[in-house]
A and B are shown apart, each in its own frame.
Chain A
Amino acid sequence: MTDTPKLEWKGVKKRFDTAQVLDGLDLSVPAGRSLVIIGGSGQGKSVTIKVAMGLVRPDAGQVLVDGKDMIGMGGRARRELFSRIGVLFQGAALFDSLNVWENVAFRLINADGVPRKEAKDRAIQALARVRLGPEIANRFPSELSGGMQKRVGLARAVVANPEIIFFDEPTTGLDPITSAAINELIVDQVKDLGCTAVSITHDLASARTIGDEIAMLHGGKIVWRGPPSALDTSDNPYVRQFVDGRPDGPMSAAV
């Protein structure tokens, strides 16, 4: 095993109008590990992973995948990079006009050139991995519950066996039981694939379940990092306020 992290943010800065969202962010994730980024609303968690997914261009800094800077990559190199990542979006972001199996097989059909018959078989296998039966393959996203949409989104994220998976608020808007089921599926998929995972969440129960490590983002920088077990014993004032859910402390409420 090399010392090169699978994914690394180096001095990443990003400003939107007057707001400095990321202010020299340094963060790395070793291969095969699951990192969860927690933090208050508006602290740049989504921007952090969007920069790593190539959806937002930073003002300064580098994002390294296997030691190679992905900022400013050309079209082909970027497509190759995207072929190695999977993403579960907050609202699942399923394509309304396509049915479930076409959503799951989207990358296979449209980017990898896999024939539709084979792509459908692989999509149904991926749905089985997230405990969804073939009977839903021909349904449309609008016919599914929020939890089922998340599962379909997870199936779409893992169908091409990615090396890195991003989870954007995977349990937001779900009831505790469905959240627990989604967390369990995430842990299973990450373990089965042996991939590197980066998640962002407000949900501490989810963070404890799916993370090997937790990092706390505040003011555009990482202010704490440690194992899930250290969350409850840390004397970091940001962590304490966040874990205790107190409105008073170093972080002001974003309301």
Chain B
Amino acid sequence: MVAASGGVPAFFRPARVIGRSTLAALRMVGGVAVFAVRGVVACFTPRWFPIQLLRQLIAIGFFSLPVVGLTAVFTGAALALNIYTGGGRFNAEQVMPQIVALGITRELGPVLAALMLAGRVSAAIAAEIGAMRATEQIDAMRTLSTDPFRYLVAPRLTAAVLALPLLTAVADIIGVAGGWLVAVRILDFNPTVYVRNTVSFIQGWDIGSGLIKAAVFGFIVALMGCYHGYNAKGGARGVGRATTHAVVSSAILIFASDYLLTTLFTAA
């Protein structure tokens, strides 16, 4: 690759490359922020499209149940085995039910459910809206006096924010059940004692903080899907790129916001 001026390869102009990358990153952050504000405004001001919201709740929430459930049960089971083995090194095997419950509700339930949604839902949203952009369907919608932010973006944002906490609640229950299954069937724990220990140890805030995280993650997943799909350019290739960017950026933002929220919650 050769730069236009002076025939100097772009590789040897690090300041220019860094400058351009920084500007592009800032442009994207600004674009996402403006998009998010428009999306939130569309969620809270009429006109609303309840049928679209219902469709998205089913697509995002209901159809994600199997993948979230399977992820949770295996994670809970594996977590139980690991904690039992690790705890055995200092004779703390008996606290395994409490640690499994704490790990699932505060951290793994919301994060894993969100990551599954990033792969399944964010990609699907980006592909669908990107294809609509490429085939002028979004332009057509505007000429039909319908705001695409209200018809396409707001129902997806709302549905993801509502659905992910519910999915996380399901993941919490199934994840703990996965731990229980391993504990009872393999590690000879008493089933009743396991449940009693879990229930008596877990506090409302453990579950609540996980559900708050899940709502934030739901917003991120839907926002990234909508943003990258809505701004897709360049036909089929652009749609493919939008899908990849939606999944990658969702995953990174989920981990980053998880750390920030955990810091906030522990400080509080």
Q: Does B140 contact A (CB under 8 A)?
A: yes
Residue contact A93 to B151, C-beta cutoff 8 Å: no
Task: Report chain B residues within 8 Å CB of A94.
Answer: 137, 140
In Å, the complex CA distance between A36 and B235 comes to: 28
Task: Give how many A-B residue pairs fall within 8 Å (CB-CB).
Answer: 56
Q: Does B135 contact A (CB under 8 A)?
A: yes
Task: Report chain B residues within 8 Å CB of A106.
Answer: 141, 144, 146
B201 to chain A, nearest CB (A): 46
Residue contact A91 to B142, C-beta cutoff 8 Å: no
In Å, the complex CA distance between A79 and B128 comes to: 25
Q: Tell me whether chain A's interface is mostly helix, strand or loop, or mixed.
A: loop
Residue contact A93 to B145, C-beta cutoff 8 Å: no
Task: Report chain B residues within 8 Å CB of A93.
Answer: 135-137, 139-140
Task: Report chain A residues within 8 Å CB of B137.
Answer: 93-96
Q: Does B62 contact A (CB under 8 A)?
A: no
Q: Does A19 contact B (CB under 8 A)?
A: no
Residue contact A107 to B136, C-beta cutoff 8 Å: no
Q: Does A224 contact B (CB under 8 A)?
A: no
Q: Does B263 contact A (CB under 8 A)?
A: no
Question: How does the 8 Å CB contact mask read for B146-171 relative to A, with 1 for contact and 0 for none?
Answer: 11000100000000000000000000
CB-CB nearest in chain A for B146: A110
Q: Does B143 contact A (CB under 8 A)?
A: yes
Q: Does B44 contact A (CB under 8 A)?
A: no
CB-CB nearest in chain B for A162: B143
Residue contact A89 to B136, C-beta cutoff 8 Å: yes
CB-CB nearest in chain B for A95: B137
- CB < 8 Å neighbour of A85 from B49, B131, B135, B143: B143
Task: Report chain A residues within 8 Å CB of B128.
Answer: 97
Q: Does A54 contact B (CB under 8 A)?
A: yes
CB-CB nearest in chain B for A168: B136
Q: Does A100 contact B (CB under 8 A)?
A: no
Task: Report chain A residues within 8 Å CB of B135.
Answer: 91, 93
A53 and B143 contact, Cβ closer than 8 Å, known pairs A89-B136, A93-B136, A93-B137? yes
CB-CB nearest in chain A for B52: A110
Residue contact A111 to B143, C-beta cutoff 8 Å: no
In Å, the complex CA distance between A91 and B132 comes to: 12
Task: Report chain A residues within 8 Å CB of B146.
Answer: 106-107, 110-111
Residues of A within 8 A of B (CB): 50, 53-55, 75, 79, 82-83, 85-87, 89-91, 93-97, 106-107, 110-112, 156
Given contacts A89-B139, A93-B140, A106-B146, 8 further A-B contacts (CB under 8 A): A55-B143, A87-B143, A90-B136, A93-B135, A93-B139, A95-B132, A96-B137, A107-B145
